[in-house]
Amino acid sequence: MTDKKVWFITGAGRGMGVDIAKAALAAGNAVVATGRNQDAVAEAVGRADDLLAVRLDVTSPSDAEAAVQAAVDRFGRIDVLVNNAANNNAGFFEELTPKQMESQLSTTLVGPMNVTRAVLPVMRRQRSGHVITISSSAGLTTGYEFGTAYAASKFGIEGWMASLRLEVAPFGIHTTIVNPGFFRTELLTPESTHFAEAAIDDYAERRAAQIDWWTAQNGRQSGDPAKLAQALVAIAGEEPPRRRFLAGADAIATAEQKVAELQADIDFNRERFVSLDV
């Protein structure tokens, strides 16, 4: 009997995806590392006998199907899927173009759906598997300005994954939502973060302050992505795996604030809420 698993990781050409791929390999697993640029993925992760670098644009269902088939052709199965690929269109909602909103949702919400839809038939046949999807503390937050697009995609992840868990559990497939706080990844670099294209005078002063703040945070985030990668390897070895993993003290603080505000709403409006029944 072996603990070796086959990992399928999206967004493994840069940032946290590289750390996850390296951690999974170091733990003795086989890894299918995917990204838009196959050569960049191979260079970033490095050489390994149990590594397969595959091109994958998560916004393309056909890419997802081809990448999954390549993984099965090489390793015969997929045990752990890590939906990690993401982008960030930051800005006030009115200043974000419809194209930017579409880019956010197609990459960060629909993208993981495309890949998971391609992987699930493999896991169903196995009657086993583990889908780990990287959400964010933005998926739990009580709201933050300048983050409408990103938060919308992550809130979507939350509802989709929570419901998917119930649908696939009878097939022996587990799901885990990961909510990282501020981790020192490449999400805030110019390659991954794009600011709103439109400019409305009423937002000008606040927009300038927000851009200055977010730009200054790049490289100063408190979270260590290598430690988070190690934590994901540990989670994948749990039996059964946990449903949610709050990563970072700031993520815990966000979750606690959300719980407190929901409880306050319930306490304040309980009588009115229950009086609405037929």
- Active-site annotation holds for 150: yes
Give the span between the Cα atoms of 208 and 245, in whole angstroms.
Answer: 34
How is 172-195 classified by DSSP, letter by letter? TEEEEEEEE-SBSSSTTSTTTEEE
Q: Scanning the structure block, which residue is given the tokens 């992505």?
A: 225
Rounded CA-CA distance 150/25 in Å is: 30
Dihedral sign computed on CA atoms, order 139, 145, 149, 150: negative
Q: What angle separates helix 61-75 from helix 110-126, to the nearest 10 degrees? A: 30
**Active-site position among 7, 75, 92, 150:** 150
Given its phi and psi angles, is residue 127 left (phi above 0), alpha (psi -120 to 50 degrees) or beta?
A: left
Q: How far apart are CA 87 and CA 270, in angstroms?
A: 39
Provide the b/e sequence for 118-157 (b: ≥16 CB within 10 Å): bbbebbeeeeebbbbbbbbbbbbbeeeebbbbbbbbbbbb
Catalytically active residues, by annotation:
150
